[in-house]
Amino acid sequence: MFEMFGYPEYSSMGERILTTREGNYKDMMMDIRVYKMQKGQEKMFCMEKDEAAFLLISGSAQYSWENQTEAAARTNCFDESAYCLHVSRGTMVVIKALAETELLVQSTENEMEFEAKFYQPSDCMEMTAGLGLCNNTAVRLVRTVFDYSNAPYSNMVLGEVVTNQGAWSSYIPHQHPQPEVYYYHFDRPQGFGGCFIGDNVFKVKDGSFCAIPGGLTHPQVTAPGYRMYTCWMIRHFEGNPWKDRIDDPQHLWMLKESFS
């Protein structure tokens, strides 16, 4: 069994590898890497068989693709919504850092070609989840950049969650058959939390990630005093795309009870 949780460091080239489609994390079916870029640095991407999403986690960057250019700036991923470029296979993308920048790149195989989409904050779907649940101990902000509802041509889902300090997310416990990867940050580097995958429990730290096999519940919690950011990434199955969560029947009572 592969390790469901990891604490990867950046390489000397500024690359943090979360999952690849070979080796220990092949069941995630996605290649996910995070880059720390210095001001003026450029990175070029062109994936022959993969669609790819380029999410600005923080910093400032210029995106160039198909004779188009867009600039994006994001002070932090807690208080500001997302910028993300999503392209089909064979698309040349150049990212230039205009300041120190953190960039997440998610990719997976997809034979379908589609028009590139540059998502700005106004394009992202946002909702506050968990209001009124268990005395508001599971309140979090959920951002969805793209999923099956607005990108049915994609084999991926990409979103973000900002969990209130001391609160739970992915709650009530739920699962789905498709694999999912979480990447974490805290609003202070010493922040911490807990991740429950099936019967396994892991300590969440800034920069850590988890690889969630299909069919296992995966609630999360962050310690009091620390807001937790989670980038969540799901890989659709052919003929069975992810559309919604499957709540654990044992915990459905919480949705019906009032708490005082």
User: pLDDT tens string for the chain (260 positions)?
Assistant: 568 999 999 999 999 999 999 889 999 999 999 999 999 999 999 999 999 999 999 999 999 999 999 999 999 999 999 999 999 999 999 999 999 999 999 999 999 999 999 999 999 999 999 999 999 999 999 999 999 999 999 999 999 999 999 999 999 999 999 999 999 999 999 999 999 999 999 999 999 999 999 999 999 999 999 999 999 999 999 999 999 999 999 999 998 876 65
Q: Which two tokens stand for residue 258?
A: 């009032």
Indicate the burial class of 209 (C-beta count within 10 angstroms; 0-12, 13-18, 19 or more). Answer: buried
- Asked if residues 157 and 234 have their Cβ atoms less than 8 Å apart, the reply is yes
What DSSP state is assigned to residue 10?
A: P
Distances in Å between the Cα of 186 and the Cα atoms of 45, 75, 78, 180, 229 are 28, 14, 9, 20, 6
Question: What is d(CA 191, CA 185) in angstroms, rounded to the nearest whole number?
Answer: 8
pLDDT score, position 258: 65
Question: What is d(CA 47, CA 124) in angstroms, rounded to the nearest whole number?
Answer: 25
- Please tell me the CATH code under which domain 11-255 is placed: 2.60.120.10
Question: What is d(CA 210, CA 202) in angstroms, rounded to the nearest whole number?
Answer: 9
- Asked if residues 14 and 36 have their Cβ atoms less than 8 Å apart, the reply is yes
pLDDT score, position 256: 84
pLDDT score, position 74: 98
Element (H, E) at 205: strand 200-205
pLDDT score, position 48: 94
- Going from N- to C-terminal start, the domains of the chain cover 11-255
pLDDT score, position 1: 52
